[in-house]
Chain A
Amino acid sequence: MSHRNDRSLRVGALARVEGEGAMHVRVDGATVTDVQLRIYEPPRFFEAFLRGRGHLEPPDITARICGICPVAYQMSACLAIEDACGVRVSEPVAELRRLLYCGEWVASHALHVYLLHAPDFLGYPGVVEMARSHRDAVERGLALKKAGNAILELVGGRAIHPINVRVGGFYHAPSPDELRALARDTLRPALDHALATVDWVAGFPFPDFTVDHELLALTDPDRYPIDRGEPRTSAGRSFRVRDFEHHIVETQAAHSTALHAGLAGAGKYLTGPLARYTLNHAALSPPARRAATAAGLGERCDNPFRSIVVRAVEMVHALDEALRIIEAYEPPAPPHLAVPPRAGIGYGATEAPRGTLFHRYELDAAGTVVSARIVPPTAQNQPSIEDDLRRYVQDRLDLDDERLTSQCEQAIRNYDPCISCATHFLDLTVERR
């Protein structure tokens, strides 16, 4: 370590996030002057090559933006295309979509809670090392992840880039018997694992750190938002999904291949588990609500380190919701509606595990995509993550570089940044001078 007032720290690629990026912190004397979350994941230009594709193609193509949350992309894309074509799917189809989406929430949250984030709190470099002393917990986490994937595989055909989703619904509706066997053999035990997860993570040591960002999530009058809802913020702003481009403004910074988003007239904001919980906790299922209360979550959660507790609570909710849907399930007949093309613009938004995911497509009369726009959660959160890190580092300048670095990495993982999504990872440098 060099002298406190003139030191620079460079660390290799930040681990246990999805994608590639870097973190650069500059400290002048006793003041943090700049924090950049540098996303260097190379761009893949989805919005550009979607132009000229047919209107039934975006769900399969945009799934490939993210291997961790492909269903989120498929669902937002379906809603947007159906909106453009003036089609609304039947409630049984919407319920089956929600079931598929619950599978992705459980698989993605179990991955983040157990494999990416818990090792930070318990002091291990990764899950394999953690398993040497916490074998039972890791096996529980893997069982949960497997349960989420089992939903994805039965309803979607496979866990990564499901093949059963189409604009208008599904190619094939699973049988009630298959789903009920899944509920009995896999999801009921997984619900117990999810409840045990809430207890486990609630006992982790959380730094005293809170944020006061405007929070944005979808809200649905009767339900915790997953597959639909209307955007609302903690400051009372609400708007229709089809107006999102008036409210969410993207800008570009030189240090990142992800666009940065802000709320028009208000700037940075946060989407994801903290926002969903704060705006919608009353709509959690009774077991999830009880688990949240027992874990010490109140009316709002504004400590990003406790997002791991919210993710655990959301796994309880998603499994409970999946069981509810299966209980009432009758195969939708037909499993999909025809969606004939027409010229127009359509908008869709759903709650990806990491936050609200907006899609917009403009179609011509033949259904050819004329333009596309995708606003993923990590791009929306990037300015807030940078702002939080500035404050977080400022209060911890007395730490040595090694500890400061590892705490910064943990702070970044609080947001479960999905950099593959945001560009459509991280090596960390702290420069002190």
Chain B
Amino acid sequence: MTVTARPKLAVWKFASCDGCQLTLLDCEDELLPLSEHVDIAHFLEASSAVVEGPYDVSLVEGSVTTQDDVERIHRIREQSGMLITIGACANAGGVQALRNFADVQEFRSVVYARPQYVATLAESTPISAHVRVDLELPGCPIDRRQLIGVLTALLAGRRPGLPVHSVCQECKLRGTTCVTVAQGIPCLGPVTRAGCGALCPAYGRGCYGCFGPMAKPNTDAMVASLRSLGMSPADVARVFRTFHAAKPEFRAAAEQGERR
């Protein structure tokens, strides 16, 4: 990517809770300085002023769930130098990808009295299922420090680096006693990608995998550990089938959990 003097940033939304784009507005100390270095050209949640593309960087939140979405993400890709997906919905289909394991027609009739008014696709899919993605920022929601780190790297003309190791290493760095070893609490930390700062164990809770799978997770051993800590096959399947249900590693782990 060629970074111009004041690069143009766009923020786009698909099916989501708005939390990942809110993370940008949650950078209270950095927002105004950032706006001096970056032209926030398209960010509807924050401004009605819209600058036409092309854009140097597009941040894309949300998953693809309608035919309109499919067409829109292609138009966004064409206008974007670098396309970064932000969060579990954009990276993996999000919690709404639970429909992928069910009959969406039935889902529609449970929520809506007149399901024919509601247009939707059978599956909630990640952005990468439709267009090339240059970088995935993990998390449900994404981490503010990682977001600032990525934007800073891009402004400096560096390729941003994101950890692909597990939450376990963050616990060690933080000095948190292992909740599984010390208290027998089931924890997805060994297979979950770092980035949150190992929040849940620091609060005495097992990681629930909201940053998605780390690189090459040993989900076999994870499933065995969860079972030995007393979780039922159905519990194990559900814990992998929540916010990253459609990520291949967690999808396989859920199926494996069900079989045991």
- Residue among A20, A43, A149 with most chain B CB within 10 A: A43
- A129 neighbours in B (Cβ, 8 Å): 47, 49
- Name the residue on B nearest A371 (C-beta): B110
- For B92-110 the 0/1 string (1 means CB < 8 A from A) is 0011101100101011101
Task: Give A111 to B25 CA distance when docked, in angstroms.
Answer: 8
- Report the separation of the CA atoms of residues A115 and B49 in the bound assembly, to the nearest whole angstrom: 13
In contact, B242 and A160 (Cβ under 8 angstroms): no
B16 on interface, CB distance cutoff 8 Å: yes
Residues of A with C-beta under 8 A to B45 = 15-18
Q: Does A232 contact B (CB under 8 A)?
A: no
Contact A254 B117 (CB under 8 A): yes
Given A60-B208, A64-B94, also A158-B48 (CB < 8 A): no
- A interface bracket (residues with beta carbon within 8 Å of B): 35 or more
Q: Complex Cα distance A57/B205, Å?
A: 14
Complex: A66 Cα to B17 Cα, angstroms: 5
In the complex, what residues of A have CB within 8 A of residue B95's CB?
Answer: 44, 49, 61, 64
Give Cα distance in the complex from A257 to B17, angstroms: 15
- Total A-B contacts with CB atoms under 8 angstroms apart: 189
Interface assignment of A278: CB less than 8 Å from any CB of chain B: no
Question: Chain A nearest CB: distance from B129 CB in Å?
Answer: 16
* Sample of 12 further A-B pairs with CB below 8 A, known A49-B107, A111-B22: A18-B18, A42-B14, A45-B108, A47-B110, A67-B17, A125-B47, A126-B43, A129-B47, A142-B32, A160-B22, A163-B203, A172-B203
Tell whether B200 is near chain A: CB-to-CB under 8 Å.
yes
Q: Which residue of A lies closest to B113 (CB)?
A: A252
A210-251 vs B, Cβ < 8 Å mask (1 yes, 0 no): 000000000000000000000000000000000000000001
Determine the chain B residues whose CB is within 8 A of the CB of A13 once the complex forms: 44
Q: For residue B74, give the distance in angstroms from its CB to the closest CB of chain A.
A: 17
Chain B residues 26 to 43 lying within 8 A of chain A, measured CB to CB, are: 26, 28-29, 31-32, 35, 40, 43
Residues of B within 8 A of A (CB): 13-23, 25-26, 28-29, 31-32, 35, 40, 43-50, 65-66, 69, 94-96, 98-99, 102, 104, 106-108, 110-114, 117-120, 124, 140-141, 196, 199-200, 202-205, 208, 210, 235, 238, 242-243
Interface check A276, CB cutoff 8 A: no
- Whether A157 touches B17, Cβ cut-off 8 Å, given contacts A42-B66, A67-B141, is no
Q: Tell me, in angstroms, the Cα distance from A61 to B96 when the chains sit together.
A: 10
Determine if A252 and B112 form an interchain contact, defined as CB atoms under 8 angstroms apart: yes
- Roughly how many angstroms separate A356 CA and B129 CA in the complex, as a whole number? 38
Shortest 8 CB-CB distances between A and B: which pairs? Answer: A67-B19, A126-B47, A15-B48, A125-B49, A48-B107, A44-B96, A49-B98, A146-B28
Look across to chain B and name the residue whose beta carbon is closest to the beta carbon of A406. Answer: B48
Q: Inside 8 A of A47's CB, which chain B residues have their CB? A: 110-111
Report Cα–Cα, A139/B29, bound state, in Å. Answer: 9
Report B-chain residues with C-beta under 8 Å of the C-beta of A131.
32, 35
Residues of chain B lying within 8 A (CB to CB) of residue A41: 15
Q: Is the CB of B118 within 8 A of A125?
A: no
A42 touching B120, Cβ below 8 Å: yes
* C-alpha gap A160/B20 in the complex (Å): 8
23 A–B contacts from the bound complex (CB under 8 Å): A15-B44, A15-B45, A15-B48, A15-B50, A42-B15, A43-B118, A44-B124, A45-B98, A45-B107, A49-B107, A64-B19, A70-B19, A111-B22, A127-B31, A139-B32, A142-B31, A146-B28, A146-B29, A160-B23, A171-B200, A252-B114, A409-B48, A425-B13
Once the chains are docked, how many angstroms separate the CA of A149 from the CA of B114?
Answer: 39
Chain A 104-126: CB-based contact to B (< 8 A → 1; otherwise 0):
00000001000100010000011
C-alpha gap A129/B49 in the complex (Å) = 9
CA distance A128 to B6 in the complex (A): 15
Q: How far is the CA of A257 from the CA of B111 in the complex (A)?
A: 10
- What CA separation (Å) do A61 and B118 show in the bound complex? 22
Min CB distance A429 to B, Å, is 16
Give the CA-CA distance A49 to B69 in the complex, in Å.
Answer: 22
Distance of A251 from chain B, by nearest CB (Å): 7
Known A-B contacts A42-B120, A65-B17, A160-B22; A48 and B31 likewise in contact (beta carbons under 8 Å)? no
